Amino acid sequence: MSEAQGYGLLHLRVSPIQAPPPGPGNPTAAPERNAAAGGADALNRLLKILAAESKHPELADAPLLFWGWSAAAGFGPSFARVHPERTVGFVRYHSHLRGIPVDIDTAKDIPALLFVGSEDSSELEQDTTELLRQGRSVDAPWALVRQPHVPHVMRDEDIRSANRLVIPWIAAVVGGRVDRTGPRLGKIARSTGWVGDLTTGEVSPSANSTAPLAVSSWLPDERTARAWQAIVRGGP
């Protein structure tokens, strides 16, 4: 995907420079989970350094699309809260907000994939379903992806299955939002997408969908809609 589309991939591994205080942690104060707690500033600084050292000045202000698993998945939507103008989209893979705020009014124009496994905790599924409901109630281009028989463990076969949707979804979202001739991100046209019914697993063009917004998933095109359908139905 990176080679075909001309994307850069950044794998960020974060380690604390000092021991955390004793007792239960506060997720909203953790910069690796909540970009508004300093993580966004750190990433922007890192990208400026990388741009200078790699002699790719475009990296300093490049638009960003986030993929995160579990605790790290909170970074994408929280980055969108402080830098919506740079956030192409975000993928939350089996994650719980843990009190980290999401500004729905700011994020409603930013595409998102929200993954949850059938063997995740009921608390995590409820949190993700409620986040989707909030977004879809204002017609946010978001999708909930329920993976049958998938626990809260990072397994290669589950990631490969998810990537059947994630990779074409990223290509479609970046293609629809990023103008390589200028810095501004375009707005996703909801009417040209497809909708998946969370109750039945059926998919259809947006114009033909009768699924209520709160129980529907928005996908950018037919290919991603068919991939979504295959995953949620547990098929090939």
Q: What is the pTM of this model?
A: 0.91
The pLDDT tens digits along the chain (236 residues) read 888 888 889 887 766 667 766 666 788 888 888 898 889 999 999 999 999 999 999 899 999 999 999 988 999 999 999 999 999 999 999 999 888 888 899 999 999 999 999 999 999 999 999 999 999 999 999 999 999 999 999 999 999 999 999 999 999 999 999 987 766 899 988 888 999 999 999 999 998 988 888 889 999 999 999 999 999 998 76
Write down the architecture of domain 64-232 according to CATH.
3-Layer(aba) Sandwich (3.40)
Counting Cβ atoms within 10 Å, is residue 196 exposed (0-12), middle (13-18) or buried (19+)?
A: buried
DSSP 3-state of 108: coil
How many Å separate Cα 195 from the centre of its chain? 17
pLDDT on residue 220: 97
Instruction: Provide the pLDDT for residue 21.
Output: 66
Q: How far apart are CA 66 and CA 35, in angstroms?
A: 12
Using an 8 Å Cβ cutoff, are 72 and 47 in contact? no
Q: What is residue 24's predicted lDDT score, i.e. its pLDDT?
A: 66
Tokens of 121: 């905790």
Q: What pLDDT is attached to residue 83? A: 94
- Note the pLDDT of residue 15: 67
Predicted local confidence at residue 16, as pLDDT = 64
Q: How far apart are the first and last CA of the chain?
A: 21
Let me know: does 125 contact 152? Beta carbons within 8 Å: no
